[in-house]
Amino acid sequence: PRAIEKVKIDQSALAGVGPSVIRNILDKDGYAYVATDSTECQMILKYAKNENVRRQVYESMNSATKESIMTLEQLMTTRAELATLVGRESYAELQLQDKMAKNPNNVDAFLRTLLRHQDPTFKSDINLLQKTKQQVLQLKSVPTVNAWDRDYFMQIYSSSQSSPINTPYFSVGSVIQGLSRLFKNLYGVEFEHAALKQGEEWHKQVRKLEVVCEREGKIGTIYCDLFSRPGKTTNAAHYTIRTSRRVDDDDSVNDVKYAFPGRNVDISNFLPPVDPPAERIHGHDGLYQLPVIALTCDFSHNATGKSALLSMFEVETLFHEMGHAMHSMLGRTDFHNVAGTRCASDFVELPSILMEHFVWHPKVLPLFANSNGGKQVSPEAVQAFLKQRKRFSGIEVNSQILMALVDQQYHSSKVTDPTFSSVTEWYKLQDQVGLFPSVPGTMWPVQFGHLFGYGSNYYSYLFDRTLARKVWETSFEANPLDREKGQAFRDNLLKWGGARDPWKCIADVLGGEDGTKIVNGDEEAMRTVGDWGIDV
């Protein structure tokens, strides 16, 4: 929906941009023609020395047509009308009523508190960029850093701090084995590789893991489809094939009678197939159906037949998705619609984000730390990676808060006001909350796809990041292999899925004063969570 699809740039204005990038975009007339949705545009923002070129590219990349703005605003007003039809003041109020946040006022309380908590980090990051720009341009006074300056001066500062890091790579097998060892310590469950039966394999790359509990035996199945291929989604994801649910108290006879009143129906036609005893979980409270899930990732496949290797980022992705998997595997609810990850959207990412905290802990790393060639990974390489990743992370968090706030404003009752302008609201939030001044003529929210899928829920990931950080610090940071803490997390949170108030689940995990502060799940609880902050 960009108003400008291509940018024309004189080759002489591309100093700083790599020759290979220039070759891809250069025409015979001596000008570069760059598509505004291309990676080349991103590279120009990052490396072009000419500020006017960076500004031109930024404004073009964030341009919007009148039609796309009208479409966005029509979506907002239509959603507002829907909310009014069912007696709600706004679409956000309608969507949040069954979430942890409960209402838009509580979301705003969380985001504004988080904004204040992270402010020192924001100021630190923007000061670094200002000083870097001042030094590079040899300016006498501290300059304003504009939106088109951000990537360029971040790159300059980062390259001045350290030499490129030789990050290690890890085999898929060693990471899966490490996860199995970790879950054995935490929850008393581990993975066992299993042969695929006829009809289970949708691609030759698929692998099957049985999840086995020391107390209950086999408790579920995970199909791993981890490598990229043509036509496959590029997103890492957790898919539920079958949930866990209680089955020993099913009333199939009466279910059929209610479905077909007054008719003589053969009930055997409606009963589900009976699994052998090994395919049921004998839990403390009854008999449960085994969950089955699929994990998909987009890792590069090694065509040579050698072990596929994962980057450190990919290892974190696999840990994240396995957090979702354990939520599904360890769920013990009566009904399938509240099992495992079928819970509030502002709660569902907590177990997966928590897993990201485990990855590089000194006690967890040795569980999978044999990298390419079987060598032990040096702690120095890990620390260098973590330091590099955290650089300017405050800017990323500020951007996420800004997006969450615009999501709230666009789904508030404001949109029913005839004077409402999505453009004006976006500029106002950038200037009040963002770290870079708004740029006239730009309208990035028309590219914000999550406004559609996450309408009024975009705050959820930030919210779960703060919750996960607190659970990590309280329960696992001192000892990430603590079985007692792991069992408490399993019993108080994971097993409940969406069948229990998540505030009570988290309060029970945290215990003490922290648990007491949030157990009511009110506005004060949301402010408390915001004040816990995000680890950057």
- What pLDDT is recorded for position 247? 86
The β-bridge partners of 376 are 370
> Does pLDDT of 48 surpass 70?
yes
Identified catalytic residue from 59, 321, 349, 425: 321
Find the mean pLDDT for residues 51-75: 97
State how far the Cα of 477 lies from the Cα of 463, in Å rounded to an integer: 20
pLDDT of residue 160: 87
Tokens at residue 86, please? 């069912």
58-79: average pLDDT = 97
Assign 74 to helix, strand or coil: helix
Residue that wins the pLDDT comparison between 166 and 109: 109
Q: Is the pLDDT of residue 277 over 50?
A: no
Range of lowest pLDDT (70-79, 209-218, 281-290): 281-290
Q: Which two tokens stand for residue 117?
A: 């908590």
* Choices 3.40.50.10860, 3.40.390.10, 3.30.500.10, 3.40.109.40: CATH for 170-377: 3.40.390.10
Check residue 434 and give its pLDDT: 97
Instruction: Give dist(CA 165, CA 162) in Å, integer.
Output: 8
Does the structure show a pLDDT above 80 at 74? yes
pLDDT score for 374: 57
In this model, does residue 259 exceed pLDDT 70? no
pLDDT in tens, 306-351: 667 898 899 999 999 999 999 999 999 999 999 999 999 999 999 9
Q: What is the mean pLDDT of the chain?
A: 91
Contact 455, 407 (CB under 8 A): yes
How far is it, in rounded angstroms, from Cα 415 to Cα 410?
7
Could you give phi then psi for residue 242, rounded to 5 degrees? -150, 135
**426 contact partners, CB below 8 Å, separation of at least 6:** 406, 438, 443, 444, 445
CA 112 vs CA 123, 142, 521: distances in Å = 16, 28, 17
**Whole-number pLDDT of residue 306:** 61
Angle at 426 between CA 425 and CA 430, to 5 degrees: 115
**What pLDDT score does 481 carry?**
98
Q: Please report, for the chain, the start and end positions of each structural domain, with discontinuous segments joined by +.
A: 6-61, 66-164+390-453, 170-377, 459-532
Exposed / middle / buried, residue 228 (Cβ in 10 Å: 0-12, 13-18, 19+): middle
User: Residue type for 156, please?
Assistant: I
Q: What is the mean pLDDT of residues 55-70?
A: 97
Spell out the alpha helix ranges (H) of 269-364: 312-329, 350-358
pLDDT, residue 369, reads 75
Residue 260 has pLDDT above 90, yes or no: no
The DSSP annotation for 375-439 comes to PBPPHHHHHHHHHHHHTTHHHHHHHHHHHHHHHHHHTSGGGGSTT--HHHHHHHHHHHH-SS---
Cα 177 off chain centre by = 24
Q: Is the pLDDT score of 72 beyond 70?
A: yes
Question: For the segment 190-231, what is each residue's pLDDT rounded down to a tens digit?
Answer: 999 999 999 899 999 999 999 999 988 999 999 999 999 999
Collapsing DSSP states into helix, strand and coil, what is residue 7?
Answer: strand
> In this prediction, what percent of the chain has a pLDDT beyond 70?
91
What pLDDT sits at residue 492?
A: 97
Q: In this predicted structure, which of 106-115, 116-125, 186-195, 279-288 has the lowest mean pLDDT?
A: 279-288
* Fold entry, domain 66-164+390-453: Neurolysin; domain 3 (1.10.1370)
| pLDDT value at 272 more than 60 | no
CA 433 to chain CA centroid, nearest Å: 22
Long-range contact pairs involving 479-485 (C-beta distance under 8 Å, separation at least 24): 479/363, 480/182, 480/357, 480/358, 480/361, 480/363, 480/364, 481/182, 481/185, 481/186, 481/363, 481/364, 482/185, 482/186, 483/185, 483/186, 483/188, 485/186
How far is the C-alpha of 157 from the C-alpha of 475, rounded, in Å? 36
Task: Answer whether residue 257 shows pLDDT above 70.
Answer: no
**pLDDT band for position 162 (cuts 50, 70, 90):** low
Residues 6+ apart with CB under 8 A from 79: 91, 411, 455
Q: What is the predicted pLDDT for the residue at 375? A: 65
Instruction: Please state whether beta strands 292-299 and 217-227 pair in parallel, antiparallel, or not at all (unpaired).
Output: parallel
Got the DSSP string for 91-158?
HHHHHHTTSSS-SHHHHHHHHHHHHHHHHHHHHHHHHHHHHHHHHHHT-SSPPPPPTTTHHHHHHHHH
C-beta of residue 83 within 8 angstroms of C-beta of residue 89: yes
pLDDT value for 382: 83
Element (H, E) at 293: strand 292-299
Model confidence band, residue 276 (pLDDT cutoffs 50, 70, 90): very low
The pLDDT value recorded for residue 253 is 61
67 in active site: no
Alpha carbon distances (Å) from 154 to 46, 128, 390: 8, 9, 12
pLDDT in tens, 469-500: 999 999 999 999 999 999 999 999 999 999 99
Calpha distance 270→470 (Å, rounded): 47
- pLDDT of the residue at 373: 56
